[in-house]
Amino acid sequence: MSASFDDPFLTLDLPRVFGVDAATLRRAYLAKSALLHPDLATDSEAPRRMAALNQAKRTLEDPERRANALLAILGGPAASQDRRLPAGFLFQMMETREAIEETAAASNNEQERERWQTWAEEQRQQAISEVATMFDALSSPPSVEALADIRIRLNAWRYIERLIEQLDPDYDPNAADFR
């Protein structure tokens, strides 16, 4: 597989930045996919290239996946290489989950579940904002420490995503469009 298919930004001819605009991504995808349409493409690699294009689009549409891809491209650690979390975060999550279980057991109330979902969505938006700021602040080339700090924040973000998924069993992360 060529390097361009490993890099969703390169696949779509987009700059390697976290702050990808939804309209820009859509235009880039449509322009590239038009070239790979079965009626227009003449090479036998078109179906494979279209699959890679679709994968690149899905990656860049999802902020968490986009952040992980960008971190990997920049040489940062993968989640499997660095499992650290921000100081106190795990304790906060344990307390939050305990509070969710207590309110759910006490009330079994849709309003409480929605309140916790709102809280988790706010945490997701905060994570997106913090990660965007961290990527924007990177020097060129980025320092190992700065990349590790982004990984730590992404690890915490993943906990929030899991919580959202557990609060809403019908949640489809692939249906979310530029959260």
Domain ranges of the chain: 3-61, 89-167
**Exposed, middle or buried, 144 (CB in 10 Å: 0-12/13-18/19+)?**
exposed
Q: Per-residue pLDDT tens for 148-161?
A: 999 999 999 999 99
pLDDT higher than threshold 90 for residue 46: no
State if pTM tops 0.85.
Answer: yes
Buried b (16+ CB within 10 A) or exposed e, 65-92: ebbbbbbeebebbeeeeeeebeeebeee
CB 160 within 8 A of CB 100: no
Specify the CATH class of 3-61 in words. mainly alpha
Mean pLDDT estimate for the chain = 89
Pick from 17-21, 31-35, 120-124: least confident: 31-35
Q: Nearest 5 degrees, angle CA 48-CA 24-CA 123?
A: 100
DSSP secondary structure of the chain: --HHHH-HHHHTT--S-S---HHHHHHHHHHHHHHT-TTT--STTHHHHHHHHHHHHHHHHSHHHHHHHHHHHTTPPPTTT-----TTHHHHHHHHHHHHHHHHHHH--HHHHHHHHHHHHHHHHHHHHHHHHHHHT--SSPPHHHHHHHHHHHHHHHHHHHHHHHH-TT--TTT----
pLDDT for the residue numbered 45: 84
Say what the pLDDT of residue 108 is: 65
